[in-house]
Amino acid sequence: MNAQTPPPLPIRAMIAPVTPLQQNCTIVWCVKTKKAAIIDPGGEVPRLMAALKEQDLTLEKIWITHGHLDHAGGTAALKELTGCPIEGPHPDDQFWIDDIGTSGAKWGMPEARSFTPDRWLQDGDTVSLGETEFEVVHCPGHTPGHVVFFHREARFAQVGDVLFQGSIGRTDFPRGNFQDLIQAITKKLWPLGDDVRFVPGHGPMSTFGQERKTNPFVADDVLAED
């Protein structure tokens, strides 16, 4: 019996670290239509536009995981340049978005500005891209309005600053909550499957299964000891 070649995935993704904080801005696109979304355009908008052109992609959406400067500082400029709608984050991050201009001046990114999303997102929503669809998972803790974008068929997620390879998001910012973050990771992300590969807000990719084995904050063995 011959092994069958699995069907091609409906999406592709590329990571473009931006800002002095090296935030993982992610460009995802529908393979069939070449319609793209930029997730977390923290800055360096001309570079992101050049990446779209290099891949022959058409920007359709701007998706935001949460309102921190390094993830959302370039959103207003990208919207002005392209006219594409901004989707996300959850409305509980409005106060962070309102603070982007002040934060930008503090961190040497004076071009960063606040914005108003065209669509706030809630847990269980879906967002479309070309002929494909992502699920929205609300994962508070790092910020109260943080969301994750998950493509079920591709077994792929962009998790922002919820989870990293070997670590988790900080919870010492205003309205951060450590227990909320642990709950979101273990009750909302883990059930999606150990095989899910994720892009974190900073650093290298990993899988949920790998983090359940080795992450010193949320590994199954670590949490079982609590």
What percent of the chain has a predicted confidence (pLDDT) above 90?
90
Task: Report, as an integer, the average pLDDT of 4-14.
Answer: 82
Task: Say whether 201 sits in a helix, a strand or coil.
Answer: coil
Q: pLDDT at position 2, please?
A: 47
Inter-CA distances, 38 with 143, 159, 177, 180, Å: 20, 14, 27, 27
Task: Report, as an integer, the average pLDDT of 13-34.
Answer: 95
The pTM is what?
0.95
Type of residue at 85: P
Q: How far apart are CA 90 and CA 225, in angstroms?
A: 33
Domains contained in the chain, CATH given: 11-224 (3.60.15.10)
Q: How far apart are CA 25 and CA 41, in angstroms?
A: 6
Task: Say whether 134 sits in a helix, a strand or coil.
Answer: strand
- Tokens 């982007």: give the residue: 100
Q: Token pair for residue 67? A: 């309102």
Task: Say whether 157 sits in a helix, a strand or coil.
Answer: strand
| Confidence category of residue 96, pLDDT binned at 50, 70, 90 | very high
* Among 4-13, 20-29, 40-49, 189-198, the least confident range: 4-13
Q: Are strands 86-87 and 58-63 parallel, antiparallel or unpaired?
A: parallel
CA angle 95/97/99 to nearest 5° reads: 75
* Among 57-66, 99-108, 202-211, the least confident range: 99-108
Q: Are 196 and 156 in contact (CB under 8 A)?
A: yes
Average pLDDT, the chain: 95
Q: Is the pLDDT of residue 226 over 70?
A: no
Q: Angle formed by the axes of helices 45-54 and 75-82, to 10°?
A: 50
Q: Is the pLDDT of residue 3 over 70?
A: no
Q: Is the pLDDT of residue 23 over 70?
A: yes
Q: Is the pLDDT of residue 4 over 80?
A: no
Q: What strands lie across the sheet with 11-18, from one edge to the other?
A: 11-18, 23-30, 35-39, 58-63, 86-87
pLDDT tens-digit readout, 152-201: 999 999 999 999 999 999 999 999 999 999 999 999 999 999 999 999 99
